[in-house]
């Protein structure tokens, strides 16, 4: 999660908790997807898709 904090600054606890639910494969995918995110909304949309 340091990468997320570095990219977006302080992140809501609710988002951090959702990231903690991700599998190893999902975390790897998030690491790659993070390069394309412009805003925290991009992260939230990605999490919504992954945690359906």
Distances (CA, A) of 4 to 9, 12, 14, 21, 41: 7, 11, 13, 15, 12
> What is the pLDDT at residue 3?
85
**Rounded Cα–Cα distance for residues 30 and 19 (Å):** 9
- pLDDT tens digits, 9-25: 989 999 999 999 999 99
Q: Which pTM does this prediction carry?
A: 0.85
pLDDT at 38 over 90: yes
């Amino acid at each position: 999660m340091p990468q997320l904090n570095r990219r977006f600054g302080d992140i809501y606890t609710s988002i951090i908790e959702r990231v903690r639910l991700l599998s190893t494969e999902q975390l790897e995918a998030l690491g790659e997807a993070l390069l394309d995110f412009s805003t925290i909304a991009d992260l939230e949309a990605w999490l919504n898709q992954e945690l359906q």
